[in-house]
Amino acid sequence: MNITPIKQQFLKVLSRTHKTLKDISSKQWTICSREREIVPPAIFLKNDLDKVKAVMEDTTIEQELTRIHGGEVEHAATVAYQIFDCELLDGSLYKGSFRLPLTKQPKRLIGANVNEFISEGALAGTYYGSFYFGHWLTDDLTLYLTAELLGKPVTPARSAYSHEIGYQELLSIKPNPVTRARFGSLIICDDYGQNSLKKKRYEEFRTRLLKIPSANPGGRVFIRRGQQGAARSLVNSTVIEQVLQSEGFRILDPEYSSVNEIVEATRDAKIIVGVEGSHMLHCIYSIAQNGGICIIQPPYRFNNVLKNYSDCLGMTYGFITGHACENGFSIDPTELLHVIDKIDKSLNANV
């Protein structure tokens, strides 16, 4: 029986303070300093913002407007924190009165005993990466490349995504999932900034995917959204796909494709289109260098997080917002083709 969670709660009440990673770490250092750069605005139509009814729950309208309008941005530093004598139990990290949730697993006051000791570990998983596939693909995988240089890369145990093993094999990632372990030393990196170190790691994975031949060099791809994740029902999706196919787009359905097939279809593609969601991150390591991405936005879940990654990799980002309707939203095909044409012209101008 392990009472660490009860002990943590008791110590937290006694201390009456909210501790941070910095407070509990014995050592911290900056791996990559914060940086500033000018990023381009997103490509969209004048009336697109008028259609927005609400944003995704993890963002704000102010944050989204900042993303799409571009300008000078600051990328947070990548900072490492070394913590001695701590425990990772059922998806949470414990150190004295401090608890850091790493997954959505509910807190268990009493659990099974620690069954593993790791002398020098480095965390290679994030909270959002534990339930958003797109964040796992971009944030967790890049974090692994840093973690493996600092100690034994570990991740909190959880159910794997359907394409997770395929990407791990293709990208030479060998995770060490942990359910209940004690660490002599654990290094945790604050690594959310889209800085030059993050870009270097994105590019490393893009290089590793060069082993997969392209089935569609310079082409256009529509990535179909499946039934997993939050509802984003494009009610006229059949019409949209037919229009795009007539324009030379290849339709890709990740739910029925292997990782190799996804990479083959998207590698070196010039423009990739799809409804906002984690499935769109399938293209981040395989789209053509300086390619273009067009996101179809549900008006009730506006979210442009993919622009952060696009900006970091020097890609062109555009979006179109749908019209709210019964059972979901719809897209005007003419407006969509207009945005795609604007993206295409921008890409050609940058050649």
Same domain as 341, residue 223: yes
Q: How many CB atoms lie within 10 A of CB 264?
A: 17
Residue 51's domain is classified under what CATH number? Answer: 3.40.50.2300
At 294 the pLDDT is 98
In a domain, 57, yes or no: yes
Go through 321-342 and write b for each residue having 16 or more CB atoms within 10 A of its CB, e for each that does not: bbeeeeebbbbebebbeebbeb
Domain end (from 192, 224, 259) = 192
Same domain as 306, residue 251: yes
Same domain as 238, residue 159: no
Same domain as 289, residue 236: yes
Same domain as 100, residue 57: no
Same domain as 68, residue 94: no
At 350 the pLDDT is 76
In a domain, 198, yes or no: no
Domain end (from 123, 157, 192) = 192
Same domain as 239, residue 162: no
At 308 the pLDDT is 96
Closest CA to 177 of 121, 120, 105: 121
User: Mean pLDDT throughout 242-255?
Assistant: 97
H/E segment holding residue 122: strand 117-123
In a domain, 242, yes or no: yes
For 174, the domain range is 79-192
Task: Give the model's confidence band at 226: pLDDT under 50 very low, under 70 low, under 90 confident, else very high.
Answer: low
- d(Cα 264, Cα 289) in Å, to the nearest integer? 15
Lowest mean pLDDT among 4-13, 116-125, 144-153, 257-266: 4-13
In a domain, 17, yes or no: no
57-112 confidence digits (pLDDT tens): 999 999 999 999 999 999 999 999 999 999 999 999 999 999 999 999 877 766 66
121-176 confidence digits (pLDDT tens): 999 999 999 999 999 999 999 999 999 999 999 999 999 999 999 999 999 999 89
Same domain as 242, residue 271: yes
How many residues are present in the chain?
Answer: 351
Instruction: Work out how many domains the chain is built from and give that number.
Output: 2
As a whole number, the mean pLDDT across the chain is 93
At 1 the pLDDT is 62
Same domain as 231, residue 280: yes
Lowest mean pLDDT among 22-31, 32-41, 221-230, 263-272: 221-230
Same domain as 231, residue 160: no
For 311, list phi and psi in degrees, rounded to 5: -60, -40
In a domain, 30, yes or no: no
Same domain as 171, residue 128: yes
In a domain, 15, yes or no: no
Same domain as 248, residue 126: no
For 13, list phi and psi in degrees, rounded to 5: -65, -40
Looking at the predicted structure, is the pLDDT value of residue 229 above 60? no
- d(Cα 131, Cα 125) in Å, to the nearest integer? 11
- d(Cα 94, Cα 100) in Å, to the nearest integer? 7
Report the predicted TM-score, pTM, of the whole model to 2 decimal places: 0.92
- d(Cα 269, Cα 214) in Å, to the nearest integer? 8
12-24 confidence digits (pLDDT tens): 778 777 789 999 9
